[in-house]
Structure 1
């Protein structure tokens, strides 16, 4: 079904999801037309960035041709992360040769919620193996996924393909997930808004109850705060049988970001990393810019430091939980394949994790979960008397490709990750909401993000402050110049 006018690619690239939905409601464009544009961009930009997997272009175009508008987004193109989110339409590899072309027996609850929101998935986006890296360089993908701002650098991970696709304009919003920064890292690398919601807000069922001992959650990456707010209104909420439940307010997140806070917020600013790990000057400058904007908006900004925390013990607990989950997932897959583990099934760090995981006992796992709970109490306590914490998202600029590849042991690999994503995984342990806000960039145009951390269940306050910052210093007009033959940065 054709809209009342022809939409050009440059128009599509300049609009967020809710703006496209408005054109759908007015009849100016059709879902069919939007899908054709998105698929065209996926074939060119997506291919150049190595960001797209499991394309279902013809099938998805046919769905869009007959789509009946519904939900906040009407019927816009959408991408699912190749994270194993169960979908009858799309196989998944989880970025791994061992898991290649895995099929699900039923849709995840989240798939149904995406459908009711008016999202039409047409492919999956690339991830690192088992979604366990802050970069997207899986062997299964045939090479690295590239950052559209600078193709010598990583787009982040594990939602790296999703971030690259949104930054490149293929879709305005895409599915992501976060078990240690996997939404916030790529959002920071690619200049996007990315919210890790409160634990239990977004359902993981009906097949799973939790991921990685409660660390993992699903969400979206978007170019505007309002798109994420509208998405969270549709996908958030209790699912029968869930092991966790997040507090929810009476209103909607979309309404929350359009209303000014009823009082000024108290914002703590952390400039030092756990274990005093170094933080790049550009990342600290972005924090100073955000703090100044918060003050100018009338909020109380308080210099503070991260709470005392045995960060090394937390990193070790994280490694323990990842290793046990490598074994759990791999053995389940091997049972389906009817064979034993073989050399080459997993990349070196993950294969080492499989070996390590087999040596761990129930006591090791229980102690790791207890460590997560300790971190949760410390982190929530750190916000006593405050509403938000402002930190750098990453401790350095987007990593150069190759630095975070899954080489060596799981231990050495995760220790490198802990220096890069120092402020992030602790929030997965605490279950608090946190978001990357793409407030700044280097003179050459490379994105630099800041993180807002909220109190448990106060996703509304995180998004509210992010929306205020977006209004004060808009970023949607910053887009990477796209030339498939040229790897340079363009502002």
Structure 2
């Protein structure tokens, strides 16, 4: 198989070709590595590539699961892998290794996904843009290299948009799958809290905000990947509602009635929304109404947004302090000013001073939002919003050179519709439905009721059939 054939096909198509004997796993890995070598240097989306090992692994791979033996990339989020080091985007953690595989990594491989490297992230995955010093420069948006790829799964979104892999691992603690999916024009689903395993070493991240998933170019690849990774593991602290036997098998099922969809075009705290982001919602409305669904324009619930952003700041700071101090335990203390970016260094010092009452109050605010959102959604099946309040920002706009609170409050205005869904635990997806006249992707977000991934995926698939976006990638691939 040639790389120009490989890059245009989704994961399930490549898996089916393997099953029919039309292509071997090693050919697919060679294509992925060729594309990585050609496309990564100007975009800076990949790290810890293990090409020779990946070729050896692909030569002996026996196709299994839904994806056979498909090239795949893990996010540099610290997800434990015995053969891929990690840095979490930080000089402090550069080259960190693990003696075990995370449960999620095991499930990825059992489903036929073969990791050959990692994708770049901002330091500690705490930014909506990927510009870590550890990466030697920013990860650039493939549609406009002067703009951000989004974050924290920025490298993953770039790798998928440019065809290096059809599917890549991502994680989302405040929009980190949906932000880069919107910036790079790919599909990205944040699953419900408790649906995807987080262990075996950890029970939660960021007070229950963080979840793992994938970024893809087709809805069906996301549905198939979720079939492979969803499900409780022993001892996990959260549980999502019961899942269907197969999200993929249900993807084309019609709904038994029109869905009730609430559309939001106003954000809290007077946050401005770019006209192109509103245009994307208008386009989504037209598509959804043409599909027979019932859409109404509604106001969001009355969340105290500045206080919520403050709660996120406190929990993130506590996480930084815990992570850094845990890593440095029984080690000689380095000069953290040389190893942490200014905002993260400030978060560390804030975290070491944070009181128990402040942390407990932050968690209570998250839980309160979950109650508000559950009550709000008694009257609707899905919420439609802009994914971001602005177009992908120019590189350097959201800088880790400031103090952590200023940085995160600025980020909170860019991502106003996202982190509340991490607090509520609901599933939400970026749908790449709109592009500007200058060729920039603009996403819309579909939010489902807790545990209703099936609804979000089926509605996404309906939109994909009615207004397909797959042809957009030819601009990047040619």
TM-score, with normalisation over the residues of structure 2? 0.98
CA–CA separation in structure 1 for the residues paired with 2:187 and 2:358? 36
CA distances 1:123-157 after superposition (whole Å, capped 9, x unpaired)? 00000000000000000000001111110001100
Q: Is the 8 A contact 1:148 1:480 kept in 2?
A: no
CA distances 1:253-283 after superposition (whole Å, capped 9, x unpaired)? 1122121112211100001011120000000
Q: Is the 8 A contact 1:435 1:452 kept in 2?
A: yes
CA–CA separation in structure 1 for the residues paired with 2:212 and 2:198? 8
Shift >6 Å, 4+ stretches: none
Which of 128, 132, 143 in structure 1 is aligned with 2:122? 128
Q: How far is the alpha carbon of 1:480 from its aligned partner?
A: 5.9
CA–CA separation in structure 1 for the residues paired with 2:375 and 2:40? 43
Matched, 1:223 2:217: yes
CA–CA separation in structure 2 for the residues paired with 1:262 and 1:120? 38
Structure 1 unaligned residues grouped into runs of 5+: 1-6, 484-489
Cα 1:353/1:49, change in 2 over 3 Å: same
Matched, 1:292 2:286: yes
CA–CA separation in structure 2 for the residues paired with 1:80 and 1:118? 14
Q: Is the 8 A contact 2:336 2:345 kept in 1?
A: no
Residue of structure 2 equivalent to 1:458: 452
Q: Is the 8 A contact 2:73 2:119 kept in 1?
A: yes
Secondary structure of the corresponding residue to residue 201 of structure 1 = coil
Q: How far is the alpha carbon of 1:337 from its aligned partner?
A: 4.1
Q: How far is the alpha carbon of 1:44 from its aligned partner?
A: 1.4
Secondary structure of the corresponding residue to residue 95 of structure 1 = coil
Q: How far is the alpha carbon of 1:482 from its aligned partner?
A: 4.6
Q: How far is the alpha carbon of 1:340 from its aligned partner?
A: 4.8
Task: Single out whichever of 72-81 and 357-366 deviates more from structure 2.
Answer: 357-366
Residue of structure 1 equivalent to 2:349: 355
CA–CA separation in structure 2 for the residues paired with 1:337 and 1:255? 51
Secondary structure of the corresponding residue to residue 437 of structure 1 = strand
Which of 60, 63, 66 in structure 2 is aligned with 1:66? 60
Q: How far is the alpha carbon of 1:379 from its aligned partner?
A: 1.5
Secondary structure of the corresponding residue to residue 333 of structure 2 = coil
Task: Single out whichever of 45-54 and 120-129 deviates more from structure 2.
Answer: 45-54
Residue of structure 2 equivalent to 1:96: 90
CA distances 1:272-330 after superposition (whole Å, capped 9, x unpaired)? 01112000000000001101111110111111011111111100000000000010001
Matched, 1:143 2:120: no
Secondary structure of the corresponding residue to residue 426 of structure 1 = helix
Secondary structure of the corresponding residue to residue 152 of structure 1 = strand
Q: How far is the alpha carbon of 1:249 from its aligned partner?
A: 3.2
Q: Is the 8 A contact 2:3 2:34 kept in 1?
A: no
Q: How far is the alpha carbon of 1:48 from its aligned partner?
A: 2.1
RMSD of equivalent CA atoms: 1.1
Q: How far is the alpha carbon of 1:477 from its aligned partner?
A: 1.0
Which of 317, 340, 358 in structure 2 is aligned with 1:364? 358
What does residue range 327-342 of structure 1 map to in structure 2 within 5 Å? 327-335=321-329, 337-342=331-336
Count residues with an aligned counterpart. Answer: 478
Residue of structure 2 equivalent to 1:4: none
Residue of structure 2 equivalent to 1:163: 157
Residue of structure 2 equivalent to 1:45: 39
What does residue range 92-491 of structure 1 map to in structure 2 within 5 Å? 92-335=86-329, 337-479=331-473, 481-482=475-476
Secondary structure of the corresponding residue to residue 479 of structure 1 = helix
Q: Is the 8 A contact 1:98 1:333 kept in 2?
A: no
Structure 2 unaligned residues grouped into runs of 5+: none
Q: Is the 8 A contact 2:103 2:198 kept in 1?
A: yes
Q: How far is the alpha carbon of 1:382 from its aligned partner?
A: 1.6
Q: Is the 8 A contact 2:80 2:102 kept in 1?
A: yes
Secondary structure of the corresponding residue to residue 465 of structure 2 = helix
Q: Is the 8 A contact 1:82 1:92 kept in 2?
A: yes
Q: How far is the alpha carbon of 1:336 from its aligned partner?
A: 6.0
Cα 1:452/1:336, change in 2 over 3 Å: farther
